[in-house]
Amino acid sequence: MIVKVHNTPNGKMLALCDTEILGKTFEEGERQLDLDSQFYRGEEKSDEEVEMLLKDVYVVNAVGEKSIGLLVSKGLVEEDAVLRIAGVPHAQCVVECS
């Protein structure tokens, strides 16, 4: 997965994108996922590295089957809350910090 941490006034935000869809754009009707923007361009990380990063962010914006699957497995996103654009899953979640 490709990960980019954004520093915001409210804390750290994590942009998470499956490696194979980075750089692509998906459209369905009026909705669009632009994965070619700098927002998602970060570093490739393992599942374990992403899990560690999740402990230090307040919000996650994720795109792709693997990225969403990780968030679902961690209980951060419910399956029925996942939006699909041209078949590509997308979700955002607020992470409860400890």
Q: pLDDT digit string (tens) for 11-69?
A: 999 999 999 999 999 999 999 999 998 999 999 999 999 999 999 999 999 999 999 99
**Closest C-alpha to 81, from 73, 92, 70:** 92
Predicted TM-score of the model (pTM): 0.90
95: pLDDT confidence band, cut at 50, 70 and 90? confident
Q: From CA 59, how far away is CA 2, in angstroms rounded?
A: 16
Taking the domain 2-94, which CATH number applies? 3.30.1860.10
In degrees, rounded to 5, the angle at the alpha carbon of residue 49 between the alpha carbons of residues 68 and 2 is 55
Q: From CA 7, how far away is CA 17, in angstroms rounded?
A: 18
Share of the chain above pLDDT 70, in %: 97
Q: Is 23 left (phi over 0), alpha (psi -120 to 50) or beta?
A: left
End-to-end Cα separation, the chain, in angstroms: 24
Query: Do 28 and 16 contact (CB within 8 A), yes or no?
Result: no
